[in-house]
Chains A and B, each alone.
Chain A
């Protein structure tokens, strides 16, 4: 699905207002989330940025770290419908997308009625997506791409905003079907769910084992998310800043003039143009949510890691040397200058 920008004809004061509203909403979302979720600031920010950019996220983390809680809480405070799909090896595509079922109408005639699957929600948590078969994975990925489902020859649109948060368990990879690189590339961000710290663990214990504190307040409407998406796309981007993003992405390839040493040595395939889109949109979202009217070099750098870490295909030498995509991206950030001399 292609996200369309809808920019209203406003004055600069109106733009300032929108910027302030977006910044305030962001702060409120973070503040409200911390009532239910301990830690995970970067994860929450990343998910929110992906949401306002119209992208989907791939979450990687061991079970029990609060992934489901985060996603459900996010849906709750933004008044967005939420569904969770637990992927298993026997899950069928129709279990995700829905299917036509035979039903009787009022006159008793048998008709096909489309029963929407769990994918028809604003926020979909696809747990352990790598446990389902490729065919089932494709069904979800198609829905992500088109924001619609075709069943029985009819096109059923998924409501906006639509965001899929797919999870992968990095420690139980046996008997799983890792997403192919082409499919992984469709995710806007890959966010790492980290283990909580000592203090966070203590806070988690206090929060989750005591009496329930109550539901989260709805701080953001679905329409506001759509408005923010339009506002993100309208943030001006200077050519020099855009060129910086391009050079960063080109540096992840192994055979360009901008390639870094690790990229030349360990990268088989670098980031695609989708990666560049993610870098720039995320930077625009950062600028907007920080209350700034333009994108800076720092905004480009800020979300480079989650935008590109899943888009680099490393060679066997990297695997043998224990080189991770993060190492390549760190070198890219360190070596590529902001302004080319």
Chain B
């Protein structure tokens, strides 16, 4: 073998190695492209349907399969090397010198060696290539698979941030309900934390868990969360009905602001009580000093209390004040959950109100009925709202009698400016019903129940508004 021949063989081997490497890289990029395409398709399916994101395992499987397929179906062929040889000849303007020399070296020489014409071709090709580095002459081609694959990978990654799709109408209604519930639970927890309301905080946690459960599993339809909310309404109803009081105070009469103020006052009283300044005061005097005389169910109790008794009394009052706040939060939550549940007529639930299209217009609605509390006061000619009365629970009643304090039962609701009237019959009937609810509770001693009942039954209608 001549020097020219050995040099040329070395150069051709270098070129062949480079070409095979480029081929391997190209096929791997192609396989990656198909894998990225699969991943993007799975992410798109996840965003549009209820497809499971776990299907992303298909991407590496497709990569492996595609790599195996392309390497088996497109093996290395000498034809590819021909193209490389031609490329070298074109770039060095050798007019197929290298290609012809490679062809000569690939053939077995005849007996007696190669012809001088062939030796000349090999010699001249080697001479041209001795100072040339071949890979830069034939750089890697731009593979559109590489660019497209990288783009698809980014697209798939971005698509994973999108919320999963699914049956749009059913899932989104349930999710909307859950999101509304979660928001309420957050607000409730915030208030409970500020006011140190244990029951409210527990309720907030329970509601939050309920909402998160629904949001984590969007495949669930509305029925699951509706059932949970309905059960929670019943639980709250039981809780708010049977709230004990020991201090003998008419808590429902007190407004929210007054209740808050009372708790602050009790805190200050505790401080005074610790320095002995409240010692010797009676129960009535204590309540009077706190502005709670009107709530006292046992007025006229002038028995002096010892320091310990005062301490206990204040503790009870504070505990009950906190419980009252808790109860009110529970009741408010119960009302919220009741409104959250879809009613018999369309457009009545908060969830439907939160729908992107908004609640349906009044023109589309049938006359309101169901649990929606409080028809607009002041409007005559409508059926009066007749809720189920519950002891110690604020109840909405049609025809608020305006603003200002009132004894007896507080009506929570938006007081609107302007005249509003309610008939005497309505008030009396409502009072009688409320009394019936109270009489059924354990608050009123049994020996007084008959008296109280007879009194209210004796109330007549004078015909005056």
Q: Residues on A close to B: CB < 8 A?
A: 7, 9-12, 14-16, 234-241, 292-298, 338-341
Contact = CB atoms under 8 A, between A and B. Distances in A.
A241 B119 contact: no
A7 B115 contact: yes
A64 B120 CA distance: 46
B95 A339 contact: no
A228 to B, nearest CB: 14
Interface in B68-83: 79, 82-83
A296 B96 contact: yes
Nearest to B86: A339
15 contacts: A7-B115, A12-B116, A12-B120, A12-B123, A15-B120, A236-B100, A236-B115, A237-B100, A238-B103, A240-B86, A240-B99, A292-B95, A292-B97, A294-B96, A295-B96
A280 to B, nearest CB: 14
B308 to A, nearest CB: 103
Given A15-B117, A294-B97, A295-B96, 8 more contacts: A12-B119, A12-B120, A240-B85, A293-B120, A294-B96, A294-B100, A338-B86, A339-B82
B116 A296 contact: no
B120 A341 contact: no
B95 A236 contact: no
B100 A238 contact: yes
B121 interface: yes
A14 B117 CA distance: 9
Given A241-B99, A295-B96, A236 B82 contact: no
B119 A240 contact: no
Contacts of B96: 238, 240-241, 294-297
Given A294-B95, A298-B95, A239 B116 contact: no
Interface of B: 79, 82-83, 85-86, 95-97, 99-104, 115-121, 123-124
Q: Counting chain B CB atoms within 10 Å of each CB, which of A7, A12, A16 scores highest? A: A12
Contact of B120 (A16, A238, A295): A16
A237 B100 CA distance: 7
A296 to B, nearest CB: 4
A297 B94 CA distance: 11
Contacts of A240: 82, 85-86, 96, 99, 103
A11 B118 contact: no
Contacts of B103: 238-240
Contacts of A237: 100
Contacts of A241: 96, 99-100
A341 B79 contact: yes
Contact of B116 (A11, A298, A339): A11
A338 B87 CA distance: 12
Q: Counting chain B CB atoms within 10 Å of each CB, which of A7, A11, A234, A296 scores highest? A: A296
Q: Counting chain B CB atoms within 10 Å of each CB, which of A16, A294, A295, A297 scores highest? A: A294
A12 B85 CA distance: 23
Nearest to A235: B117
Given A15-B116, A241-B100, A294 B121 contact: yes
Contacts of A236: 100, 104, 115, 117-118, 121
CB-CB nearest 7 A-B residue pairs: A296-B95, A294-B100, A238-B103, A238-B100, A12-B120, A296-B96, A293-B120
A338 B85 CA distance: 12
Given A293-B117, A339-B79, A238 B86 contact: no
Nearest to A14: B116
A249 B407 CA distance: 115
Contacts of A14: 116
Nearest to B119: A12
A261 B121 CA distance: 37
A49 B103 CA distance: 26
A333 B263 CA distance: 102
Contacts of B82: 240, 339
B87 to A, nearest CB: 10
B119 A238 contact: no
Contacts of B100: 236-238, 241, 294-295
A206 to B, nearest CB: 39
B105 to A, nearest CB: 11
Nearest to B118: A236
Nearest to B97: A294
Contact of B99 (A16, A238, A340, A341): A238
A339 B121 contact: no
A292 B118 CA distance: 12
A13 B85 CA distance: 26
A16 B117 CA distance: 9
Nearest to B124: A293
A340 to B, nearest CB: 7
A235 B117 CA distance: 6
Contacts of A292: 95, 97
Contacts of B120: 12, 15-16, 293
A15 B118 CA distance: 10
A239 B118 CA distance: 13
A339 B124 CA distance: 22
A338 B121 CA distance: 20
A127 B270 CA distance: 140
A305 B213 CA distance: 82
Given A238-B99, A240-B99, A293 B79 contact: no
Contacts of B104: 236, 238
A7 B110 CA distance: 14
A298 to B, nearest CB: 7
